[in-house]
Amino acid sequence: MKRTFILVIFTILFTGYLSAQHFYTRIGIGGSAGTSNSLDMLYKYTYDGVSQTVRIQPVDLGSGFNGCVAFGFLPSKYVGFELAISKVLGFPNFGDSIVSMPGGTSATAKIKVNVLSVIPSVVITAGLERVNPYARFGLIVGVLPIMYHYFDADQPSVNPPNEINALQTYYGGVALGFNATGGINFHISKLISMFAELNFIGMNFSPTKSEIIKYNINGVDQLPTMNTKQKETDYVTKLTVGEQIPDTSPNKRLRKTYPLNSVGASFGVMFNF
């Protein structure tokens, strides 16, 4: 009799467990604002007719538009697991000059970062039927981060005057960090829900390579005349003082870390299975 009672209880709990678990997929879009700045990337020049001044132009690499596709599994009403793929298209930051490409009084510069990320997370929900609050905590791995440096300058003082248009990309390595999200699901039907959420991302990017992929002077492509050392750079953690790098090899510089921290909001639709 006792064994029968235990078996009945186990069957009821197991059946409830199975009925609660389900898979889902969600699609969302949103935007983010950076919460940290880099202070050694862009400069702002001013000239008052007497003296020239230069000041730091803060660069926010965390702001941008984002889209996300996620797949999740809830083994119970309260705890689940999710794997998301997110793409962030960064907002551009503007200045008069980039530190690696200084220009004249009419120079303009732009920097932005695009990141494709994979985000594994643990999901915790309140388990409510109609309006269900939830939280997600997990890692964020930027598998394809790339930073763009655009540079345009007019040099009227040289003879003949020059107009320069350049683009340098920074890439390599992964951007690592963490993600924390809080949101609410609004159940429309058994199969469809709408969601709105706030999220915080803490992530850093340390590129290992850069390459100049565009360099025009007065509309003429200069890349064919440039050697590998002029076009490409490897970023390392240790440099040998006095090392002679051949023209056929990439140049070397010390590696830097750039913050991609942000806080953002997104909304979308969830399909339950």
Task: Give residue 20's pLDDT band: very low, low, confident or very high (50, 70, 90).
Answer: low
Question: Is it true that domain 22-272 has CATH number 2.40.160.20?
Answer: yes
pLDDT higher for 12 or 93? 93
Residue 54 has a pLDDT of 82
21-46: b or e for each residue (b if 16 or more CB lie within 10 Å)? eeebebebebebebbbbbeebbbebe
Work out the pLDDT band at 5, boundaries 50, 70, 90.
very low
Give dist(CA 129, CA 186) in Å, integer. 9
Residue type, position 16, single letter: G
Span 189-205, mean pLDDT?
96
Q: Across residues 212-217, what is the average pLDDT? A: 96
pLDDT attached to residue 208: 97
pLDDT-based confidence at residue 12 (cuts at 50, 70, 90)? very low
Residue-level pLDDT at 60: 95
Say if residue 9's pLDDT is above 50.
no
| Whole-number percent of the chain with pLDDT over 70 | 88
pLDDT of residue 153: 85
Determine the average pLDDT of the residues in 232-250: 94
CB 272 within 8 A of CB 193: yes
Do 202 and 261 meet the contact criterion of CB atoms below 8 Å apart? yes
| Range in 44-48, 72-76, 243-247 the model is least confident about | 44-48
Per-residue pLDDT, 50: 82
Angle at 272 between CA 271 and CA 273, to 5 degrees: 125
DSSP letter for 17, please. H
